[in-house]
């Protein structure tokens, strides 16, 4: 009987190795759980950092353009110089660029025609698009006279000075379709609580190029001007036959001369 009992005992596991195996399985499970938790925490931190970075970028962009989230953005459109009541294709593109910017910053958009809008921008951030020559944008002419007395805009003509921008002893000539310029200025009228952003190029393409450039390079411009609350800069558009409106660069800060009365 003792031999039978010994044989039977050898046929069945005694259970002595179970605790060790369970410990190994538990260790694997714990490692998996710790790995998953670490991944979730790391992913969450990266997401929060990216979201915070995006929020900071939007905040700086809103401050530069003077657009208040939840506020209103007013776009004052110019007329096509030879067709009153209509707008050039490139000016419409500039308007769309401004509208998408306002939408990105959670601001409502309204559009007014320069020939009929005769009010203060009040608590709305105004984007006034178009140069003053040939009656294209009479509001631009008014803004220049009231706030940027150091800027002169020569009339359109057949000579080399046609539509040239004069400011601070500098003469920015219009080489149509090759090299053009746009004056961009930001200021807040005394009767308003929000700024005016003036975009006046020597052509509709220059208007479009200036807005497109500012959206892309506003941090560069912010570093180049003495204050983002009030400034005036010139943007140069070159190699137009090859790159269209996309080859735009910062040319010069003319803030001091533009806002000073001519001697």
pLDDT of residue 115: 81
Asked if residue 233 lies in contact with residue 184, where contact means CB atoms within 8 angstroms, the answer is: yes
CATH superfamily of 68-259: Chitobiase/beta-hexosaminidase domain 2-like (3.30.379.10)
Span of 22-31, 41-50, 147-156, 192-201 with lowest mean pLDDT: 41-50
In this prediction, residues 217-238 reach a mean pLDDT of 95
| Centroid of chain to Cα 242 | 24
What is the arithmetic mean of pLDDT over 7-13? 46
Reported pTM: 0.78
What is the Cα–Cα distance from 26 to 253, expressed in whole angstroms?
68
For the cut 70, the answer to whether the pLDDT of residue 251 exceeds it is yes
Distance CA 148, CA 200 (A): 12
Say what the pLDDT of residue 7 is: 47
Pairing mode, if any, of strands 72-77 and 125-129?
parallel
Q: Name the residue with higher pLDDT: 15 or 157.
A: 157
The pLDDT assigned to 15 comes to 47
Closest CA to 181 of 218, 215, 206, 150: 206
Of 239, 241, 221, nearest to 231 by C-alpha is 221
Task: Please name the residue ranges forming H helices in the chain.
Answer: 2-11, 18-65, 89-104, 138-147, 204-224, 240-243, 255-259
pLDDT > 80? residue 103? yes
Please state, rounded to an integer, the average pLDDT across all residues of the chain.
84
The CA-based angle 195-196-198, given to 5 degrees, is 150
Instruction: Specify the higher pLDDT residue, 229 or 44.
Output: 229
Counted residue by residue, the chain has a size of: 263
Q: Are 257 and 167 in contact (CB under 8 A)?
A: yes
SS3 (DSSP) at 196: strand
> What percent of the chain lies above the pLDDT cut of 70?
78
- Cα separation of 151 and 54, whole Å? 37
Q: Is 162 exposed, middle or buried (0-12, 13-18, 19+ CB in 10 A)?
A: middle
What's the confidence (pLDDT) of residue 141? 92
Q: Is the pLDDT confidence value at 46 over 80?
A: no
Measured between alpha carbons, how far is 5 from 99 in angstroms, rounded to an integer?
Answer: 92
The reported pLDDT for the residue numbered 239 is 94
**Residue predicted with more confidence, 31 or 178:** 178
Whole-number pLDDT of residue 160: 84
pLDDT of residue 250: 96
- pLDDT score of 5: 45
Predicted pLDDT at 116: 85
* Burial group, residue 26, by CB count within 10 angstroms (0-12, 13-18, 19+): exposed
């Amino acid at each position: 009987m003792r031999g039978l009992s010994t044989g039977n005992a050898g046929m069945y596991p005694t259970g002595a190795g179970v605790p060790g195996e369970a410990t190994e399985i538990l260790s694997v499970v714990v490692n998996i759980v710790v790995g998953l938790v670490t991944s979730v925490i790391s992913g969450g931190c990266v997401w929060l950092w990216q979201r915070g970075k995006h929020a900071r970028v939007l905040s700086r962009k809103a401050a530069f353009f003077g657009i208040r989230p939840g506020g209103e953005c007013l776009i004052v459109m110019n007329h096509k110089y030879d067709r009153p009541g209509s707008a050039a294709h490139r000016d419409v593109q500039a308007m769309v660029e401004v509208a998408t910017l306002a939408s990105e910053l959670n601001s409502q958009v309204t559009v007014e025609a320069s020939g009929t809008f005769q009010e203060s921008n009040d608590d709305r951030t105004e984007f006034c698009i178009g140069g003053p020559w040939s009656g294209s944008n009479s509001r631009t002419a008014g803004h220049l006279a009231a706030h940027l007395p150091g800027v002169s805009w020569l009339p359109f003509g057949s000579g080399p000075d046609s539509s040239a921008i004069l400011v601070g002893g500098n003469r920015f000539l219009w080489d149509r379709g090759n090299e053009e310029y746009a004056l961009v200025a930001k200021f807040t009228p005394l009767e308003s609580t929000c700024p005016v952003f003036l975009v006046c190029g020597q052509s509709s393409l220059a208007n479009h190029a200036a807005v497109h450039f500012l959206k892309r390079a506003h941090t560069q411009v912010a570093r180049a001007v003495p204050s983002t609350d009030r400034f005036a800069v010139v943007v140069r558009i070159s190699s137009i036959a090859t790159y269209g409106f996309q080859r735009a660069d910062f040319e010069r800060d003319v803030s001091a001369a533009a806002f000073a009365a001519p001697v």
